Amino acid sequence: MALEVAVKAAVGDPHVLGDCPFSQRVLLTLEEKKISYQRHLINLSDKPTWFLQVNPGGKVPVVKFDDKWVSDSDVIVGILEEKYPQPALTTPPEFTSVGSNIFGTFVTFLKSKDSSDGSEQALLTELKALEEHLKAHGPYIAGEKVSAVDLSLAPKLYHLDVALEHFKKWTVPAEMTNVLNYKKLLFSRESFEKTKAEKKYIIAGWEPKVNP
């Protein structure tokens, strides 16, 4: 039986997959584990009644396990690993926090209107740390095989690429060859191709946050 999963629909097009990186993380995990699922696209500005009844918090993503809807991508991914252990996507504990500050520093830099506030430097510091890690342990965070931490980072790096290029004409520096190679590896996976939002929807999603 297919698992039911509710994820964000695109802003302005409720029939198309939206730009939520946490929703994509869950879809990536389902795809990598080859778990069959039924996808519900939720228009966050007009949430369906059934969705609010099963999930009063109204957040996405949520997955239905044994008649109970569960939210929070960390929790969902943990349950999927437990219930569907093969193929294993567990990241060794010493690597689970690699890259964990990239998304936060990216958002701060993206919203920044002051070029001297240090936000670009903060993001570069995080990316350099990822570069050094990949140089020592790559091509993926835990070596040769993709794992949970990669599936969490992939959507965030995609948002970083699309949004910073569009709003700031900024790209990851060319000398960060391991990071660039890592992004290529992630974005070319079949699971990523199937679950990514179109660039225009990512831009539309960030627009109100960048230009409130």
Q: Which one-letter amino acid corresponds to residue 20?
A: C
Give CA angle at 30 (24, 21), nearest 5°. 10
Name 143's bridge partners: 140
| Residue entry with tokens 């830099």 | 109
The token duo for 26 is 């869950």
Count the residues in the chain: 212
The token duo for 176 is 């960060």
For residues 212 and 208, what is the distance between their CA atoms, to the nearest angstrom?
5
Give CA angle at 51 (202, 12), nearest 5°. 30
Q: Which one-letter amino acid corresponds to residue 128?
A: K
Catalytic residue among 3, 5, 20, 42: 20
Helix axes 148-168, 177-187, angle to 10 degrees: 110
Contact between 156 and 21 under an 8 Å Cβ cutoff? The reply is yes
For residues 148 and 117, what is the distance between their CA atoms, to the nearest angstrom?
33
Active site residue 125: no
| Active-site residue set | 20
